[in-house]
């Protein structure tokens, strides 16, 4: 069906309310906008269903949410389990509560039990609750760190991880089979009262989750000795405020300062351009407060509290923003070394990263006798390895992370968890402070031992249908006509993950990975959640300055090669 016919159906269909029709009438003379809203359906990428809020098949709205949920309901019922249930959570974004209730209504009217959180909660607690309630699936309404005009819909399966194939493929087929809205009950919202199979959850689940998080503390005695370490925290208007503050307080930290302007949930994210801890600008207010209270550490979590960014005070008093890879390196070493020192590091332990993550933690893991498993981008693939190797394979998961600020340890959550990470990062800072070191000092010490690694990410934003075509063309060109070298570095190997057969079986994915001489590399992939071509690079050299110079040369060489 072409986009014009879809547009007309939404304009005239009996299932669409007047507010939707008015929104569509307002763009009747904007052909490009109509095309962008209707040329495709939203699809499940690395982060599930995600898009700009608005009317249309390529937008997040109550109709796309209802359709996806009806497909999920149909799929769950086909599994034939007795009394299946689904947990639903949401963050602080615009319409998150409305979309969560819409999903609940569709599931309840299909005869499926629903556990609905009473208010916003972090995504990792949703993952935990799916496992704790032994539910068939989970839904979280969030667009993670995207700009405020976005929202999204992520589906989790009974292991607590985001759906992967074959479930993801089969679910999408079920959703795509719904060609109209006539069979969807509670399509335009319905009262949730009167459903015996609706359970509102909150404080009781919070307590179980927080106690599990605290059980992951590696050196609790250090917190008692350095409990006055000064920490500034910002939830960036999201769902992390209560759980992060609670776990830090209960674990023993007594000097935590929350950025007041960013404390309360607000889907407009009025104090930041992007509520993304990857962006240094998101720390502006936290940095101002940190200087005022002489903080040792600054933490920032994204709206659904699965990612955390870190700034640390150096010996000279200046603050340094750790990259996602640097935080992963520090956490990995801290976890591995603490477990070994306490005699808790088990045989057959493994660490999980992604193919676009820096390679330094792999070296550290190897020095502790820990195997590294590298997956595709998306934490759902890390969760899949935990399920296959730990749950079913008898091995022991110790740590996993991806460079985009997502970290996990422990076995009770199956997604990146900024509540866990915030606690362990704070504990790690206290651990090193006791030794007279900052986290920056600790990073330099690791560089001296394992080599000076530097990673960078270049995101090429190309919006709309034309942008998607341009990204496809760039990938095709690099795949079919690869260069022999970049920035003077010879390309030794090209791994095309549409065809590559590695040490573990991975799904086919549109990723190109270039192995360069000298232990350097770069990779290219279209984003699964945003209109971007992402280019990752990793270099290693004999000093910080040399590694920085090499990374600049490599980035410039890639830009010149792509000609976008």
Q: Which residues fall within 8 angstroms of residue 12, CB to CB, at 6 or more apart?
A: none
**Pair (480, 386) in one structural domain:** no
Please report which confidence band the pLDDT of residue 47 belongs to, taking 50, 70 and 90 as the band edges: low
Percent of the chain with pLDDT over 70: 98
Residue 46 has pLDDT above 60, yes or no: no
How far from the centroid of its chain's Cα atoms is residue 434's Cα? 32
Q: Which residues are paired to 301 by β-bridges?
A: 308
Burial class (CB in 10 A: 0-12, 13-18, 19+), 473: exposed
Average pLDDT over residues 9-33: 91
Q: Which two structure tokens, joined as six digits, stand for 221?
A: 């005695």
b (16+ CB within 10 A) / e for 363-374? bbbeebebebbb
- By annotation, the residues acting in catalysis are 144
Cβ atoms of residues 564 and 470 within 8 Å: yes
Query: So what's the pLDDT on residue 300?
Result: 98
Task: State which H helix or E strand residue 382 sits in.
Answer: helix 379-385
Residues in the chain, overall count: 564
CA distance 381 to 506: 9
Please report which confidence band the pLDDT of residue 337 belongs to, taking 50, 70 and 90 as the band edges: very high
Q: Which residues are paired to 453 by β-bridges?
A: 540
**Pair (470, 503) in one structural domain:** yes
Strands (E) located in 136-259: 137-141, 150-157, 198-201, 231-234, 256-258
Please report which confidence band the pLDDT of residue 56 belongs to, taking 50, 70 and 90 as the band edges: very high
Please report which confidence band the pLDDT of residue 321 belongs to, taking 50, 70 and 90 as the band edges: very high
Please report which confidence band the pLDDT of residue 24 belongs to, taking 50, 70 and 90 as the band edges: very high
**Pair (197, 230) in one structural domain:** no
Residue 77 has pLDDT above 60, yes or no: yes
Query: So what's the pLDDT on residue 447?
Result: 97
Q: Which two structure tokens, joined as six digits, stand for 378?
A: 């998306």
CA distance 278 to 323: 8
3-state SS assignment for residue 485: strand
Residue 182 has pLDDT above 90, yes or no: no
The CATH number assigned to the domain holding 517 equals 3.30.310.50
3-state SS assignment for residue 477: helix
Residue 310 has pLDDT above 70, yes or no: yes
Looking at 177, 201, 225, the residue that finishes a domain is 201
Query: So what's the pLDDT on residue 13?
Result: 84
Place of tokens 């023993």: 252
Which alpha helices (DSSP H) does 138-219 contain, by range? 167-176, 203-214
Place of tokens 């309404």: 141
Cα–Cα distances (Å) from 219 to 209, 215, 245, 300, 429, in that order, read 20, 11, 19, 23, 11
Cβ atoms of residues 458 and 369 within 8 Å: no
Cβ atoms of residues 321 and 309 within 8 Å: yes
List strands edge to edge, sheet with 231-234.
256-258, 231-234, 297-301, 308-313, 319-321
Any domain includes 250: yes
**Pair (444, 457) in one structural domain:** no
**Pair (328, 445) in one structural domain:** yes
**Pair (363, 258) in one structural domain:** yes
Query: So what's the pLDDT on residue 564?
Result: 63
Any domain includes 273: yes
pLDDT in tens, 98-137: 999 999 999 999 999 999 999 999 999 999 999 999 999 9
Query: So what's the pLDDT on residue 20?
Result: 93
Query: So what's the pLDDT on residue 41?
Result: 85
pLDDT in tens, 488-514: 999 999 999 999 988 888 888 999 999
Comparing CA positions, the residue from 411, 454, 464, 468 lying closest to residue 546 is 454
Q: Which residues are paired to 88 by β-bridges?
A: 116, 139
**Pair (260, 171) in one structural domain:** no
Q: What is the CA radius of gyration of the chain?
A: 23
Burial class (CB in 10 A: 0-12, 13-18, 19+), 274: middle
Query: So what's the pLDDT on residue 45?
Result: 58
Any domain includes 444: yes
Phi, psi of 334, deg, nearest 5: -65, -45
Average pLDDT over residues 56-81: 94
In a 13 Å sphere around the CA of 133, the CA atoms on its Cβ side amount to 29
Q: How big, in percent rounded to 5, are the helix, strand and coil portions of the chain?
A: 40, 20, 40
Any domain includes 524: yes
The CATH number assigned to the domain holding 99 equals 3.40.120.10
CA distance 466 to 460: 14
CA angle, 377 then 379 then 381, to 5°: 75
Q: Which two structure tokens, joined as six digits, stand for 490?
A: 């010879």
Residue 183 has pLDDT above 80, yes or no: no
Place of tokens 């949401």: 90
Query: So what's the pLDDT on residue 521?
Result: 97
Query: So what's the pLDDT on residue 193?
Result: 81
Average pLDDT over residues 177-200: 81
Average pLDDT over residues 164-186: 86
Q: Which two structure tokens, joined as six digits, stand for 121?
A: 């909660």
**Pair (417, 464) in one structural domain:** no
Cβ atoms of residues 218 and 335 within 8 Å: yes
Looking at 450, 482, 513, the residue that finishes a domain is 450
How far from the centroid of its chain's Cα atoms is residue 1's Cα? 33
Query: So what's the pLDDT on residue 136?
Result: 98
Query: So what's the pLDDT on residue 561?
Result: 87
Domain with 77, as residue range(s), is 40-201
**Pair (192, 217) in one structural domain:** no
Query: So what's the pLDDT on residue 187?
Result: 64
Cβ atoms of residues 427 and 437 within 8 Å: no
Any domain includes 343: yes
Count the helices and strands in the chain (H runs, E runs). Answer: 18, 21
Average pLDDT over residues 131-160: 96
Average pLDDT over residues 10-23: 90
Looking at 182, 201, 220, the residue that finishes a domain is 201
Number of domains in the chain: 3
Cβ atoms of residues 38 and 520 within 8 Å: no
CA distance 86 to 104: 9
pLDDT in tens, 343-397: 999 999 999 999 999 999 999 999 999 999 999 988 999 999 999 999 999 999 9
Any domain includes 535: yes
Average pLDDT over residues 8-37: 92
Any domain includes 303: yes
Query: So what's the pLDDT on residue 466?
Result: 85
DSSP string across 442-469: HHHHHHHHH-EEEEEEEEEE--HHHHHH
**Pair (346, 471) in one structural domain:** no
**Greatest mean pLDDT among 165-169, 203-207, 226-230:** 203-207
Any domain includes 338: yes
Average pLDDT, the chain: 94
Cβ atoms of residues 124 and 306 within 8 Å: yes
CA distance 538 to 357: 8
**Pair (193, 60) in one structural domain:** yes
End-to-end CA distance of the chain: 31
**Pair (364, 294) in one structural domain:** yes
CA distance 278 to 402: 12
Query: So what's the pLDDT on residue 44?
Result: 62
Average pLDDT over residues 541-550: 96
């Amino acid at each position: 069906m072409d986009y014009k016919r879809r547009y007309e159906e939404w304009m005239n269909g009996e299932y669409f309310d007047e507010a939707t029709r008015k929104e569509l009438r307002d763009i009747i003379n904007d052909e490009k906008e109509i095309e962008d809203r209707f040329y495709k359906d939203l699809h499940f990428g690395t982060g599930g269903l995600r898009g700009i809020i608005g009317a249309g098949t390529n937008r997040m709205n109550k109709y796309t949410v209802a359709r996806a949920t009806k497909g999920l309901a149909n799929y769950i019922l086909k599994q034939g389990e007795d009394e299946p249930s689904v947990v639903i959570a949401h963050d602080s974004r615009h319409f998150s509560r409305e979309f969560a209730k819409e999903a609940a209504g569709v599931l309840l009217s299909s005869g499926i039990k629903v556990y609905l959180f009473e208010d916003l909660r972090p995504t990792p607690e949703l993952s935990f609750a799916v496992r704790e309630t032994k539910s068939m699936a989970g839904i979280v309404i969030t667009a993670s760190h995207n700009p405020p005009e976005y929202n999204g819909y992520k589906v989790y399966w009974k292991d607590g991880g985001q759906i992967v194939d074959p479930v993801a493929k089969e679910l999408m087929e079920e959703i795509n089979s719904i060609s109209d809205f006539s069979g969807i009950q509670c399509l335009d919202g319905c009262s949730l009262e009167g459903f015996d199979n609706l359970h509102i959850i909150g404080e009781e689940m919070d307590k179980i989750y927080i106690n599990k998080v605290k059980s992951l503390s590696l050196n609790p005695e250090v917190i008692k000795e350095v409990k006055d370490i000064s920490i500034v925290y910002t939830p960036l208007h999201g769902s992390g405020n209560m759980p992060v503050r609670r776990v830090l307080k209960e674990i023993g930290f007594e000097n935590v300062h929350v950025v007041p302007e960013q404390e309360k949930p607000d889907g407009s994210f009025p104090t930041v351009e992007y509520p993304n801890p990857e962006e240094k600008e998101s720390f502006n207010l936290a940095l101002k407060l940190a200087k005022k209270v002489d903080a040792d550490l600054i933490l920032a979590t994204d709206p659904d509290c699965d990612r955390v960014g870190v700034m640390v005070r150096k010996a000279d008093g200046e603050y340094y923003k750790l990259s996602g890879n640097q935080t992963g390196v520090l956490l990995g070493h801290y976890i591995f070394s603490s477990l070994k020192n306490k005699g808790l590091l088990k045989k057959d332990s493994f660490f999980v990263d992604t193919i676009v993550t820096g390679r330094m933690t792999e070296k550290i893991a190897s020095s502790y006798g820990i195997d590294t498993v590298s997956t595709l981008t998306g934490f759902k693939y890390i969760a899949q390895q935990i399920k296959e190797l730990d749950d079913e394979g008898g091995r022991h998961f110790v740590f996993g992370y991806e460079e985009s600020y997502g970290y996990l340890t422990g076995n009770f959550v199956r997604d990146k968890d900024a509540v866990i990470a915030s606690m362990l990062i704070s504990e790690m800072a206290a651990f090193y402070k006791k030794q007279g070191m900052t986290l920056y000092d600790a990073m330099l010490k690791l560089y001296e031992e394992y080599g000076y690694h530097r990673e960078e990410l270049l995101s090429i934003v190309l919006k709309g249908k034309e942008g998607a075509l341009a990204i496809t063309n760039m990938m095709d060109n690099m795949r079919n006509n690869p260069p022999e070298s970049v920035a003077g570095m010879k390309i030794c190997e090209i791994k095309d993950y549409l065809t590559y057969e590695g040490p573990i079986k991975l799904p086919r994915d549109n990723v190109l990975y270039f192995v360069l001489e000298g232990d350097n590399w770069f990779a290219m992939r279209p984003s699964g959640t945003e209109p971007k071509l992402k280019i990752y690079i990793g270099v290693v050299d004999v000093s910080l300055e040399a590694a920085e110079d090499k990374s600049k040369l490599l980035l410039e060489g890639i830009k010149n090669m792509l000609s976008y």
